[in-house]
Chains A and B, each alone.
Chain A
Amino acid sequence: MHSDSQDRASWGLRIAAWGGLVFLHFPILIIFLYAFNTEDAAFSFPPKGLTLKWFSVAFSRPDVLEAIKLSLQIAAIATLIAMVLGTLASAALYRRDFFGKQGISLMLILPIALPGIITGIALLATFKTLGIEPGMFTIVVGHATFCVVIVYNNVIARLRRTSHSLIEASMDLGADGWQTFRYIILPNLGSALLAGGMLAFALSFDEIIVTTFTAGHERTLPLWLLNQLSRPRDVPVTNVVAMLVMMVTMLPILGAYYLTRGGESVAGSGGK
């Protein structure tokens, strides 16, 4: 080996890398800090004191509770639809080659690859043309559309790692297609489905750009937050809700990571 620099990162690189991590997390820590801020109007730093008072204030506000309820409902329904459609699509696409396969997978990715504003305004234009009144239903339709690909990605990755001989063995032993699905494929997919569902839930819970167009008079939690920002009243309540939204969106990624890690071993190939 030529020199030590092959194995040890230089100081500059270490500072850049760890500094980058600090940069990524600092604004998030600020949100957590300000949620406990005692002041009720200013953003001054450092905070004068810490309190839990604003949590009880926030959770006694009917508009906050209503927005939380609506966002939870929408995320739950959108996630369910996405799990069904995403699983169907991945089961169709993972093994067989057929005409238009590339096109279908591209179509699934488009809603998150193109800026959300395109999906949002396209849906709005269509709802208007069809005379559909925007509301909870239209929000769910928009969310489900871009959540499908999240479930699809997780499930298809698992299907590709599942050895096909397991399915053949099940069939050889006399199980029919349904039994194979119920007792072999589904248990294998379980954690990938759960991970995909959690991520889809987080994505839907936090989505604002598409929602802006499809919400009509409904107000999801992110829309409630945005509305608070343009009218800087009751900052402390906003801060508490901001921390809450942050946690709802960050915890699923931790869960999904633990559910899908160890991706090298192929289930059923003896490496489990």
Chain B
Amino acid sequence: MNTLAITRTPAPGSPLRRFSNLLYRRPNLYLSMLLVPPLLWFGAIYLGSLLTLLWQGFYTFDDFTMAVTPDLTLANFTALFQPSNFDIIVRTLSMAIAVSIASAIVAFPIAYYMARYTRGKTKAFFYIAVMLPMWASYIVKAYAWTLLLAKGGVAQWFVQHLGLGPVLQFVLGIPGVGGSTLSTSHLGRFLVFVYIWLPFMILPIQASLERLPPSLLQASADLGARPRQTLMQVILPLSVPGIAAGSIFTFSLTLGDFIVPQLVGPPGYFVGSMVYAQQGAIGNMPMAAAFTLVPIVLIAIYLSIVKRLGAFDAL
């Protein structure tokens, strides 16, 4: 070290200086001092909580006294496979899959246009225009949809003025999709989910398309492919990692949601609302814990599938 510099720096023997010199000489000490606070927080609070919850899944809930006793049992987990509970899981899972597919279909053209046909200011505009609704308040977005879908609300006004009334009636009549009104139908709930999670799908697809070298598309055209062929055989396969990455969000977020199912759609529990009801009104924390395991397991399975599609490289 340069003597001139040492004399220039203030208070060479100060405790702060000696301390920082010590840290510089011992990078492992430095590293552990950096890591200890976040590790303590996450280890003790977050992981500790997850394990506590999982452990409580083995506790016994007495239906008559409504009391939880720490007698270990597997009953809560086997109860998940009772028809009524299994129905909830299937309902939630099929909604999550449907929402993921629909989001991908709606998101792709937006992402494709963003990646290939915008640059400079327009690209920045599109980027912000997707980020804003993504960050805008979740609960207010859900509320906006209850306003939109309500009787006499905006959706109905458009349907009437476009003369689509009979079409809507027909769609609402389809079992498993429809319901008595738009705001109490599966279709309405599905629309809200697609709307809320759509930006989470657009951005990963856009990022994966952005990395696509233009020379590849030129080569495809030079070799005589029509635009449609290029799209189907070059662009789409190469955007699969992006779609898979986006679907992690749409899938996982739909799976655990309990606010949207409460506000829009027909009665009937979702996994999230079941967890909420079990721990709250019923006070059966063990069953709630067992139900929490459902999204964790489903997401773990889903992640192992999309990992093969290259989703993690596109995140």
Contacts and interface: CB of A to CB of B under 8 A. Distances in A.
Given A21-B110, A118-B295, A121-B289, A89 B35 contact: yes
A49 interface: no
Contact of B288 (A43, A96, A121, A229): A121
Contact of B132 (A10, A92, A253, A261): A253
A6 B116 CA distance: 10
B253 A43 contact: no
B interface secondary structure, majority: helix
A164 to B, nearest CB: 14
A28 B110 contact: no
A46 to B, nearest CB: 7
Contact of A5 (B20, B227, B257, B263): B227
B144 A242 contact: yes
A242 B140 CA distance: 6
B171 interface: no
A176 B11 CA distance: 11
Interface stretch (A50-58, A62-70, A106-114, A189-197): A106-114
What range describes how many residues of A lie at the interface?
35 or more
A124 B150 CA distance: 34
Given A96-B31, A114-B299, A121-B53, A34 B147 contact: yes
B48 to A, nearest CB: 6
B162 interface: no
Contacts of B50: 118, 122
B9 interface: yes
B135 A175 contact: no
Contact of B222 (A2, A115, A175): A2
Interface string B1-20: 11011101100000011011
A43 B152 contact: yes
Contacts of A125: 49, 52-53, 56, 285, 289
Contacts of A84: 37
Given A31-B144, A246-B136, A20 B109 contact: yes
A60 interface: no
Contacts of B145: 27
Contacts, number: 275
A16 interface: yes
Given A98-B31, A118-B50, A175-B9, A13 B109 contact: yes
Contact-residue size bin, chain B (C-beta under 8 Å from the other chain): 35 or more
Interface string A171-194: 111111111000000000000000
Contacts of A236: none
A35 to B, nearest CB: 11
A261 B125 CA distance: 13
A24 B153 contact: no
A145 B276 contact: no
A225 B16 contact: no
Contacts of A17: 109-110, 112-114, 117, 126
Interface string B27-51: 1001100110111011001111110
Interface in B212-260: 217-218, 221-222, 227, 248, 252-253, 255-259
B86 interface: no
A148 B289 contact: no
B94 interface: no
Given A85-B41, A125-B285, A206-B137, 8 more contacts: A2-B221, A6-B218, A45-B153, A121-B53, A121-B279, A145-B41, A245-B140, A246-B136
14 contacts: A1-B218, A1-B221, A6-B221, A17-B126, A110-B46, A111-B46, A115-B252, A116-B256, A124-B279, A141-B45, A174-B5, A208-B138, A226-B259, A250-B136
Interface of A: 1-3, 5-6, 8-10, 13-14, 16-17, 20-21, 23-25, 27-28, 30-31, 34, 42-46, 84-86, 88-89, 91-92, 96, 98, 104, 107-108, 110-111, 113-119, 121-126, 128-129, 141, 144-145, 148, 171-179, 199, 202-203, 206, 208-209, 212-213, 222, 225-226, 229-230, 238, 242-243, 245-246, 248-250, 252-254, 257, 261
**Interchain residue pairs A-B with the least CB separation, the first 7:** A115-B256, A174-B5, A177-B20, A17-B113, A16-B109, A27-B144, A92-B34
